[in-house]
Structure 1
Amino acid sequence: MSWAEFYLVVSGLITLVLLIIAFPWLRRKDHAKHDSLSNTQIVKQRLAELEREVQEGLISEHDKRQAVDELKLALVDESAFQAHKTGNATLPLLICGIIALASGAWVYFYVNQMEKVAQGADAISALPQLSQQLANGNASNLTQQDIVQLALAIRQRLRQAPDDDTGWMYFGRLMLSLGQEIQAIEAMDKAVSLSPDKSANRITLAQALMTTADVNNLKRAQGLLLGLLNDNPQNDNLALMMAVVSAQLGDLNNTKRFYSQVEGKLPSDSDVAKRLVSRIEELEQQSITVGAQTEQPASQLSQVNQKRAENASDALTGFTVSVSLSEDALAHAPTEGFLIVFAQDANSQNKMPAAVVKMPIQGFPVSVELTTRNAMMPQYTLASLSQVTITARLSIDGDVAPAKGEWQGNTQVAVRQGDLTSISVIIDKEL
Structure 2
Amino acid sequence: MTSFYVYCLLFAAIAVGFILYPWLKDRNAKKRFEVSNTNVIKQRIEEIKREAFEGLIDPEEMQTAIDEMKIALADETAFHDAQEKKAETTSLSARSAKLPLLIGAIPALFAAVWVYVDANQLSGLQDLVDATNNIDELSQRILVTPADDVRPEEFQKYALVIRQQLRKDPSDATGWQWLGRLRMSLGQTEEAVAAFDKALKISPDAQDIRMKYAQAMMMVGDDENLQNAKRQVSYLVQIAPENRNYRLLLTVVAAQLNDSDVAFANFALIKDALSADSTVYQSLVNQLRSMGASEGLLSLNNGARNGLLDNSSLDNSSLDNSSPDNSSLDNAPLDNSVVANGTRGFDVTVSIANELESKLPSTGFLILFAQDAISGSRVPLAVKKLALPQFPILLSLSADDAMIASLSLENAEQVTITARISVDEDVMTKPGELEGSLASVTVNDSMQAVTLIINKEI
TM-score, normalised to structure 1, is 0.54
Query: Is this contact kept in 2: 1:36–1:79, CA < 8 A?
Result: no
Query: Is this contact kept in 1: 2:52–2:59, CA < 8 A?
Result: yes
The answer for the alignment partner of 1:58 in structure 2 is 58
Query: Is this contact kept in 2: 1:168–1:190, CA < 8 A?
Result: yes
What is the correspondence of 1:182-193 to structure 2 with a 5 Å cutoff? 182-193=190-201
What is the correspondence of 1:320-331 to structure 2 with a 5 Å cutoff? none
The answer for the alignment partner of 1:316 in structure 2 is none
Give the AA of the match of 1:185.
V
More helix as a share of residues: 1
The answer for the alignment partner of 1:121 in structure 2 is 125
More deviation, 54-63/80-89: 80-89
Give the SS at the match of 1:141. Answer: coil
The answer for the alignment partner of 1:130 in structure 2 is 138
What is the correspondence of 1:351-430 to structure 2 with a 5 Å cutoff? none
Gaps of 5+ in 1: 289-431
RMSD: 4.0
Query: Is this contact kept in 1: 2:252–2:263, CA < 8 A?
Result: yes
Query: Is this contact kept in 1: 2:200–2:209, CA < 8 A?
Result: yes
1:203 and 2:211 aligned:
yes
The answer for the alignment partner of 1:70 in structure 2 is 71
Distance 1:205 1:242, change over 3 A: same
The answer for the alignment partner of 1:112 in structure 2 is 116
Residue by residue over 1:61-117, the C-alpha shift from the partner in whole angstroms, topping out at 9 and shown as x without a partner, is 764674475366457647856886898899969969989986884464244344761
Give the SS at the match of 2:32. Answer: helix
The answer for the alignment partner of 2:409 in structure 1 is none
Residues in 2 aligned to 1:23 and 1:100: alpha-carbon distance in whole angstroms: 24
The answer for the alignment partner of 2:220 in structure 1 is 212
Residue by residue over 1:224-268, the C-alpha shift from the partner in whole angstroms, topping out at 9 and shown as x without a partner, is 222212322333332322232233334445445544554454444
Query: Is this contact kept in 2: 1:123–1:153, CA < 8 A?
Result: no
1:221 and 2:229 aligned:
yes
What is the correspondence of 1:97-108 to structure 2 with a 5 Å cutoff? 105-106=109-110, 108=112
Give the AA of the match of 2:199.
A
Query: Is this contact kept in 1: 2:190–2:220, CA < 8 A?
Result: no
The answer for the alignment partner of 2:22 in structure 1 is 24
Give the AA of the match of 1:31.
A
TM-score, normalised to structure 2, is 0.52
More deviation, 56-65/235-244: 56-65
Displacement, 1:212? 3.1
Displacement, 1:196? 0.7
Distance 1:160 1:223, change over 3 A: same
Gaps of 5+ in 2: 297-458
Residues in 1 aligned to 2:105 and 2:210: alpha-carbon distance in whole angstroms: 54
Distance 1:276 1:231, change over 3 A: same
Distance 1:106 1:162, change over 3 A: farther
The answer for the alignment partner of 1:230 in structure 2 is 238
Query: Is this contact kept in 2: 1:50–1:64, CA < 8 A?
Result: yes
Distance 1:38 1:257, change over 3 A: same
Distance 1:76 1:250, change over 3 A: closer
1:283 and 2:291 aligned:
yes
Give the AA of the match of 2:128.
I
Displacement, 1:207? 0.7
Q: Which of 237, 248, 251 in structure 2 is aligned with 1:240? A: 248
Residues in 2 aligned to 1:43 and 1:152: alpha-carbon distance in whole angstroms: 75
Displacement, 1:200? 1.3
